Amino acid sequence: MNRLSLRRAALVLWLLVVLLAVPGAAAQSGIAIGPYVQNVSTDNATISWATADGEVTYASSTTTAEVVHSYRHHSIVLRDLEPGTTYTYDVLGDGTDAGKGSFATVPEGEHPFSFAVVGDTQNTENPAHRPIVERIIAQKPDLVFNTGDLVSDGRDLREWDPFFRINSDLMRSVPYYPALGNHDRHADLYFDFFALPGNEAYYSFNRGAAHFVVLDSPGPHDPETNQPLTKEEHQRLEQAWEDYWQRQMQWLREDLAASAQAKYVFVFFHYPPYSVLKSRLEGAQELRERLGTVFQDNKVSAVFNGHDHHYHRAAAGGVQFVTAGVSGGRARPTDGAPLPETVKYASVVTYVQVQVGPEQAAVRVIDVDGKAVDSFELRSRSD
């Protein structure tokens, strides 16, 4: 082992000792959420978990008692790791498996890898969610993306408990990259639980020959208020949203221009630009007008969306637009006519598996029973 490797190994050991020595960590009665790995790169990784910090039991004379918990969130960044190396970690050090997990850092240079895409995992106790997570675990992806609506109400801590419980075995070892959905509500809990690149609302990163971009298509949500907003207040909120959108679009153009050499570019956000739901055709059209041809102009390989609770794939200007918007809820009927851009659609619960190779990426859309719903290939942008 060379001196640099010895130094890195010593630093990692020190970080793990610090991790185990966090005041009160080992003395906690147990971990409430996690642990889980986030934001893994060639030499960094973030380990997150939450411990119980209090609870309130409440009831009325006519309702059953309910318990609401509060959590203390913990997050530690491990630095100066070796590329392409598997590490184990333990946030408790109490001899049990409760605080243990593992992760693999990203190899340097081009390399084959795989990722999974889920969406609309809201209603997390729905029977479809756990089987899909189990299938993803069995396929051993290197990373997972969620196109938004992780839970039904991101402000409600009770919604996050089952989400993390169902995803526990997956997220202990596989980094999880979400996009904000309308049900996530830009809640503080969302930003507390996830350690993401950039400003965490929209961000990008590279892996091998691929560039990944996660956008915030809904934008900031109106603040909670017990009073109706005045016309002037509505106008200020609309202007704030417009300013936010324009800043994000400027960032997106610059980000894609800087990634022109990537062999693949994958984009993720919640609202689909193409829909076959009658009630959402107008909104999808407005989104296409806002986005313009930025994806086509920059030769994006594929765009993944949620929101519509069914499967739909459209192709426009060489870009594949994939809506796989139900991995935890129930599939809804597709009540609209196919669009000119429509390639395939089906009312079915799905997730997406992508195998990225040196010259092409293979995309498979799989239902909750493990059957293929759709499959296609994406050629390297260098071809």
Residues 253-286 have pLDDT tens digits of: 999 999 999 999 999 999 999 999 888 888 899 9
Tally of domains in the chain? 2
The tokens for 172 are 């202990």
User: What is the domain extent for residue 70?
Assistant: 3-104
pLDDT, greater one: 30 or 98: 98
Boundary (domain end) residue, out of 104, 126, 157? 104
pLDDT of residue 273: 95
Residue 9's pLDDT band, with cuts at 50, 70 and 90, is very low
Burial degree of 182 (CB within 10 A; 0-12, 13-18, 19+): middle
Looking at the structure, tell me whether residues 190 and 82 fall in a common domain.
no
Percent of the chain whose pLDDT exceeds 70 = 88
Looking at the structure, tell me whether residues 245 and 266 fall in a common domain.
yes
48: Cβ contacts below 8 Å, ≥ 6 apart: 34, 35, 36, 37, 38, 73, 74, 75, 193, 194, 195
Q: For the ranges 85-89, 126-130, 294-298, 351-355, which has the lowest average pLDDT?
A: 126-130
The tokens for 365 are 């859309």
Render 138-173 in DSSP notation, one character per residue. Answer: HH--SEEEE-S--SS-TT-HHHHHHHHHHHHHHHTT
Looking at the structure, tell me whether residues 252 and 181 fall in a common domain.
yes
CA-CA-CA-CA torsion sign (377, 380, 381, 383): negative
Looking at the structure, tell me whether residues 88 and 158 fall in a common domain.
no
Boundary (domain end) residue, out of 69, 85, 104? 104
Looking at the structure, tell me whether residues 60 and 139 fall in a common domain.
no
Looking at the structure, tell me whether residues 331 and 277 fall in a common domain.
yes
Q: What is the mean pLDDT of the chain?
A: 88
| CATH code of the domain in which 27 resides | 2.60.40
Boundary (domain end) residue, out of 104, 139, 170? 104
Looking at the structure, tell me whether residues 83 and 120 fall in a common domain.
no
pLDDT of residue 382: 81
Residue 33's pLDDT band, with cuts at 50, 70 and 90, is very high
pLDDT of residue 7: 37
pLDDT of residue 47: 98
DSSP 127: T
pLDDT tens-digit map of 299-330: 999 999 999 989 999 999 999 999 997 877 67
pLDDT of residue 111: 97
pLDDT, greater one: 356 or 122: 356
Residue 16's pLDDT band, with cuts at 50, 70 and 90, is very low
Looking at the structure, tell me whether residues 72 and 193 fall in a common domain.
no
Looking at the structure, tell me whether residues 97 and 184 fall in a common domain.
no
Distance CA 327, CA 368 (A): 8
Looking at the structure, tell me whether residues 285 and 357 fall in a common domain.
yes
- Residue of 303, 344, 308, 353 lying closest to 117 (CA atoms): 353
| CATH code of the domain in which 330 resides | 3.60.21.10
Asked whether the predicted pLDDT for residue 6 surpasses 60, the reply is no
Percent of the chain whose pLDDT exceeds 90 = 67
pLDDT tens-digit map of 126-160: 778 899 999 999 999 999 999 999 999 999 988 99
Looking at the structure, tell me whether residues 294 and 311 fall in a common domain.
yes
Looking at the structure, tell me whether residues 277 and 355 fall in a common domain.
yes
Strand ranges in the chain using DSSP code E only, listed in sequence order: 31-38, 45-58, 66-78, 86-90, 100-104, 113-118, 143-146, 176-178, 203-207, 210-214, 264-268, 302-305, 311-316, 319-324, 342-346, 350-356, 360-367, 372-379
Render 232-250 in DSSP notation, one character per residue. Answer: HHHHHHHHHHHHHHHHHHH
The tokens for 91 are 């946030």
pLDDT, greater one: 376 or 18: 376
- Please state the φ and ψ torsions of residue 56, each to the nearest 5 degrees: -130, 130
Distance CA 219, CA 319 (A): 24
Please check whether residue 267 is in contact with residue 295, taking contact to mean a CB–CB distance below 8 angstroms. yes
Mean pLDDT (whole number) for 334-354: 91
Residue 25's pLDDT band, with cuts at 50, 70 and 90, is very low
